[in-house]
């Protein structure tokens, strides 16, 4: 029986994006596709039905088919997957459709000057009713697919002055829409966002009437692209993270969807593409170890993993030579399924993702241009690289009292945090919570700290971490050094002299404490990854008397994720070494193993049993003073210490 998405753990994605003049299934090899399915054995497959060019790769009667279709590849995928009880989903482009804009220019997004966007459709237009829903109906009823992954949707939503948007706004407000520079321009941007939510809700509702078991998501909805509370009933969350520096990207994006209490997966690009776009043929297929590192970051967070590659031969074939790599990846992921899938985090450190707005010089409304997201990613990396386990909390979750479950909150740099949210965080501190704020977020808590309207300057500083200094070009607060409140220092030269400055200060408030950074920590760390700044950060958590559940005592390349499932504590250890962050390295075949990793794991009582997965290996340990002490002899990519 085919699995529904909520129970699906491992998938593969092969899209195509047919272009003008292209013959679909120029090469047609169902035998190779069958070999792929038999050896990789995914829970689900996502295959192409329509790409961003707007040309469907199956003989559609509702949309625009490709120039020539020699074979019906969608029919092939359905027959082959149905025979093997594998679910099949459509990769189907939504609001990104060049052909629809060409055929219906009045449906296109327009800017305030009335100029048409040649690629993006207005969600206020008749597109959903006249093209999208009829095509999804074809896919669901004629081809019996299990669902659809709607690509090119939220991340193309733009400020829209099409006639459809303008008329809708006038109906609701009786006003002409504001433009950049107007005091109510942000309100119009919110109106355009609401139009997208209504558009998705509409096609979901209509498809439920037509095919109630057809499962749909809109790519990247309610993710880092959309840091808002889910208000549309998609079946699952999913997105394709960056094809370069992918291990870090999986680390960041996983935390931004894992907290939504919805089924979720992330999609790894199986190639490093230059540039990272759907149009390029300049693709280097990734190696086994790259897939495994990326998958580890996702499955360790309790999510499902899928990888993506191109349907070659103009849609009728896949890379036969890469099937052995994918088969090994499947084995790696499956070995961890019973332990990891649907596990949930042990809540220790939360990093706030504010409900930010994109800058007004950016027309797209759900694109990753949030300064808060950049800062959030840097903080995630810094915390994980100091070998603490952190999670992301959205701003709306603060008002649902989710913050009370965490020991420490980090507030990254943000251009906008709602004052009610800042007040709620202040209340959390007063009741005993611990908070760290970055430089540009200090202002939201000035009533507590007294750090109000302090001047800043850009300069070279040398941050102190244990017994070393690290050079940073950064923005700093101009304030006097106070030894009693300082939790970190910097110097003006790479030398320990008497001219000491505050790098961070601590303020007591009620039963809790807040540490305020006196320099731009996240921007500095992004550009200056050093052991000194990591030691400095560790000292900030120690100043707050934070005690992590897991301490790695002797190795700095171990990424720790502390999870729980079925009453068991799961200590995920990921080997974060290797070349994954180097821009010029497109593929790599190995990473150095880590040996003899000493751990201290805090538990309230002595464990009954400890084993290492995969492999069900019993683990020797020592228990004293509410700590488990053990040594993992070797970490190649990902191991889980299971404590009962």
**592/636 Cα distance (integer angstroms):** 7
Nearest to 642 by CA among 395, 249, 338, 190: 338
Write down the CATH number for the domain with range 550-643.
Answer: 2.60.40.1180
Per-residue pLDDT at 2 exceeds 90: yes
DSSP SS3 for 507? strand
- Largest pairwise CA distance in the chain: 78
pLDDT of residue 614: 98
Taking residues 445-466, what's their average pLDDT?
92
Nearest to 159 by CA among 176, 182, 132, 177: 177
Per-residue pLDDT at 118 exceeds 90: yes
Taking residues 484-488, what's their average pLDDT?
95
Rounded percentage of the chain residues whose pLDDT exceeds 90? 91
**604/170 Cα distance (integer angstroms):** 61
Per-residue pLDDT at 317 exceeds 80: yes
Q: Which positions ≥6 away from 100 have C-beta within 8 Å?
A: 54, 64, 107, 121, 127, 131
**449/444 Cα distance (integer angstroms):** 10
Residue given tokens 């103009």 in the structure block: 314
pLDDT of residue 380: 98
**241/204 Cα distance (integer angstroms):** 24
The count of C-alpha atoms lying within 13 angstroms of the C-alpha of 22, restricted to the half-sphere facing its C-beta, is: 22
Per-residue pLDDT at 289 exceeds 90: yes
Per the model's pLDDT, the better-predicted residue between 190 and 357 turns out to be 190
Per-residue pLDDT at 326 exceeds 90: yes
pLDDT in tens, 229-288: 999 999 999 999 999 899 999 999 999 999 999 999 999 999 988 887 778 888 889 999
As a whole number, the mean pLDDT across the chain is 96
Q: In the chain, where does the domain assigned CATH 2.60.40.1180 lie?
A: 550-643
pLDDT of residue 292: 98
pLDDT of residue 274: 84
What the block records as the tokens of 486 is 């300082």
Taking residues 515-534, what's their average pLDDT?
95
Fold type of domain 347-543: Rossmann fold (3.40.50)
DSSP-derived secondary structure letter, 259: G
- Stated as kind and residue range, the H or E segment containing 375 is helix 371-385
Phi, psi of 297 (to 5 degrees): -65, -30
- Sign of the CA dihedral with 318 first, then 319, 321, and 322 last: negative
Is CATH 3.20.20.80 the right assignment for the domain spanning 5-340? yes
- Is residue 410 within 8 A of residue 349, CB to CB? The reply is yes
pLDDT of residue 554: 93
Per the model's pLDDT, the better-predicted residue between 586 and 12 turns out to be 12
pLDDT of residue 552: 97
**489 band by pLDDT with thresholds 50, 70 and 90:** very high
**494 band by pLDDT with thresholds 50, 70 and 90:** very high
pLDDT of residue 49: 98
Q: In the chain, where does the domain assigned CATH 3.20.20.80 lie?
A: 5-340
Q: What is the pTM of this model?
A: 0.97
Residue given tokens 């070797």 in the structure block: 634
pLDDT of residue 5: 98
pLDDT of residue 544: 98
Kindly report the length of the chain.
644
DSSP SS3 for 382? helix
DSSP SS3 for 245? coil
Taking residues 36-61, what's their average pLDDT?
98
Per-residue pLDDT at 453 exceeds 80: no
Taking residues 168-174, what's their average pLDDT?
97
Taking residues 157-186, what's their average pLDDT?
97
Residue given tokens 């129970």 in the structure block: 7
**537/627 Cα distance (integer angstroms):** 23
DSSP-derived secondary structure letter, 484: T
pLDDT of residue 281: 86
**541 band by pLDDT with thresholds 50, 70 and 90:** very high
Nearest to 242 by CA among 216, 277, 211, 207: 277
Per the model's pLDDT, the better-predicted residue between 584 and 383 turns out to be 383
Lowest mean pLDDT among 8-17, 527-536, 579-588: 579-588
Query: What Cα–Cα distance (Å) separates residue 122 from each residue in 164, 191, 205, 361, 615?
Result: 8, 13, 19, 19, 52
For the chain, what percentages of helix, strand and coil (3-state, to nearest 5) are there? 30, 30, 40
Taking residues 84-100, what's their average pLDDT?
98
Q: In the chain, where does the domain assigned CATH 3.40.50.880 lie?
A: 347-543
């Amino acid at each position: 029986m085919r699995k529904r998405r909520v129970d699906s753990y491992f998938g593969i994605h092969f899209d195509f994006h047919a272009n003008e003049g292209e013959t679909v299934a120029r090469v047609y090899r169902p035998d190779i596709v069958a070999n792929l399915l038999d050896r990789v054995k995914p829970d689900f497959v996502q295959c192409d039905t329509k790409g961003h060019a707007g040309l469907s790769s199956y003989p559609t009667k509702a949309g625009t088919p490709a120039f020539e279709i020699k074979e019906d590849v969608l029919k092939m995928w359905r027959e082959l997957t149905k025979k093997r009880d594998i679910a099949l989903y459509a990769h189907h482009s939504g609001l990104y459709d060049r052909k629809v804009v060409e055929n219906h220019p009045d449906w296109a997004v327009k800017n305030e000057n009335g100029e048409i966007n040649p690629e993006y459709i207005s969600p206020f237009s008749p597109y959903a009713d006249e093209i999208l829903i009829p095509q999804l109906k074809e896919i669901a009823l004629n081809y019996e697919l299990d669902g659809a992954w709607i690509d090119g949707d939220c991340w193309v939503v733009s400020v829209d002055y099409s006639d459809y948007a303008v008329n809708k706004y006038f109906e609701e407000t009786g006003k002409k829409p504001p433009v950049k520079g107007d005091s109510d321009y942000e309100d119009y941007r919110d109106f355009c966002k609401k139009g997208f939510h209504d558009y998705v809700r509409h096609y979901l509702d209509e498809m439920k009437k037509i095919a109630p078991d057809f499962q749909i998501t809109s790519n990247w909805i309610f993710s880092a692209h959309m840091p808002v509370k889910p208000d549309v009933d998609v079946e699952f969350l999913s997105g394709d993270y960056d094809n370069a520096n992918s291990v870090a990207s999986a680390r960041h994006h996983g935390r931004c969807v894992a907290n939504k209490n919805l089924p979720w997966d992330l999609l790894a690009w199986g190639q490093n593409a230059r540039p990272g776009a759907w149009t390029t043929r300049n693709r280097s297929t990734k190696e086994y170890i790259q897939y495994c590192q990326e998958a580890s970051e996702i499955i360790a967070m309790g999510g499902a993993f899928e990888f993506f590659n191109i349907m070659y031969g103009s849609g009728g074939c896949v890379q036969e030579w890469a099937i052995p790599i994918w088969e090994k990846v499947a084995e790696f992921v499956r070995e961890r399924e019973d332990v990891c899938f649907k596990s949930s985090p042990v809540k220790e450190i939360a990093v706030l993702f504010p409900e930010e707005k994109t800058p007004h010089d950016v027309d797209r409304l759900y694109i990753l241009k949030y300064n808060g997201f950049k800062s959030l990613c840097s903080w995630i990396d810094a915390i994980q690289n100091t070998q603490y386990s952190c999670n992301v909390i959205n701003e709306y979750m603060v008002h649902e009292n989710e913050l009370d479950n965490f020991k420490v909150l980090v507030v990254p740099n943000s251009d906008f945090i709602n004052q009610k949210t800042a007040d709620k965080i202040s209340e959390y501190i007063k009741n005993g919570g611990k908070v760290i704020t970055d430089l540009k977020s200090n202002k939201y808590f000035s009533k507590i700290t007294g750090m109000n309207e302090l001047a800043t300057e850009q300069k070279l500083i040398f941050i102190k971490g244990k017994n070393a200094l690290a050079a940073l070009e950064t923005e700093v607060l101009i304030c006097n050094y106070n030894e009693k409140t300082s939790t970190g220092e910097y110097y003006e030269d790479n030398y320990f002299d008497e001219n000491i400055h505050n790098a961070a200060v601590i303020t007591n408030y009620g039963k809790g404490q807040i540490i305020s950074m006196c320099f731009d920590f996240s921007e500095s760390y992004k550009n200056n990854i050093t052991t000194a700044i990591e030691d400095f950060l560790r000292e900030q958590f120690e100043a707050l008397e934070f005690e992590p559940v897991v301490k790695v005592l002797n190795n700095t390349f171990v990424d720790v994720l502390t999870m729980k499932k079925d009453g068991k504590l799961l200590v995920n250890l990921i080997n974060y070494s290797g070349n994954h962050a180097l821009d010029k390295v497109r593929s790599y075949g190995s990473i150095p193993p880590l040996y003899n990793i000493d751990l201290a794991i805090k538990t309230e009582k002595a464990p009954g049993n400890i084993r290492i997965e995969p492999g069900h290996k019993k683990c020797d340990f020592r228990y004293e003073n509410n700590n488990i002490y053990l040594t993992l002899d070797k970490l190649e990519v990902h191991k889980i210490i299971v404590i009962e």
